Amino acid sequence: MPVKIILAHADISRSRFYGYLNGSGDLAMSRLLSILEVIHVSLDEFMLYARSLKGINGNMTLQQETPLINEATVESALQTYKQTKDVAAIATAVTQIKTHASEESAGKLLKKLLPTVRNVLCKRHYFSIIDANLLLDVMDSLRYEDLQTILPFVRKTIMQQQASQQTGLEMEITRQQALLTVIYQYTLRAFHEQASADTKRDFELVDSLEPAISDWYTNVIRKLMTVVRTLAVADNEYEARVEYNNILAAVYAIQPQSVWNNYERLMHNNFNDFKTYTMP
């Protein structure tokens, strides 16, 4: 979206706007809300993104206490959603469960949330950052039939996002990364479920995208989709293994060690496990 439209809608000068983006000034809440409105980002999405940046970039001197995750946490999240229809409370509870709860208690707590989460996601026609991350957190717990209901609207959101000319905004890049990860995980799941006919449109969708060169993560997803196609469609294990190992080598060479585990999980740790999951 052209910056001049944002400036006009928010009634703010160019210098003030860029000063805020560069961290050298503040904005009145009314102007911030006007900017979010014109770029079609909710306040909840903005705050979730801001909190994620704070966690990544903040120099924290005190270790945060691990939040207490129990049935009361789940009930509170469900009650908040029932009253407000705001999915942020449920998304936060799911993230906390997956991050801090023991494996045994996590299963029990997620089971209480899952019916509501499934109902929310299966009725979504447009996926925000919160929705996309929530879907990623629970994909393994959803039935394949649920994913078949959800994925058409994930694809639709990606295409609308590409057409909106907002893809250069950092928040939109973050959302695209989450949605493409959903597509990638769904593709693996489809082959795992021996439903390869469901994957053709997703290979075409990912091929059609033109991510920014600097968007490392999106390019990794594109390359991993190529590995899946080489392995499961072309049935060329040798080439797939070479492509896979090249991606992993690039991760180790370019990305900081602090994020290696994220990529290893994404790639199922090694090629043999990746192959076993994709082609059981």
pLDDT one-digit tens code per residue, 181-192: 999 999 999 999
Domain-by-domain residue ranges, the chain?
1-39, 43-55+67-142, 143-280
Cβ 90 vs Cβ 116: under 8 Å: yes
The average pLDDT across 62-77 equals: 73
| CA–CA dist 146, 139 (Å, integer) | 9
Give the end-to-end CA distance of the chain in Å, rounded to a whole number. 45
Higher pLDDT, 256 or 8: 256
Q: Are 223 and 231 in contact (CB under 8 A)?
A: no
Assess contact for 40 and 30: CB atoms under 8 A.
no
Separation of CA 83 from chain center = 26
DSSP result, 218-279 = HHHHHHHHHHHIIIIIS--HHHHHHHHHHHHHHHHHHS-GGGHHHHHHHTTSSHHHHHHHH-
Coil vs helix vs strand at 61:
coil
- Confidence grade of residue 68 (pLDDT, cut at 50, 70, 90): confident
Query: pLDDT by residue (tens digit) across 53-64?
Result: 544 444 443 344
pLDDT tens per residue across span 7-49: 666 666 666 666 655 555 566 666 666 777 766 666 566 655 5
**pTM of the predicted structure, to 2 decimals:** 0.74
pLDDT greater at residue 211 or residue 142: 142
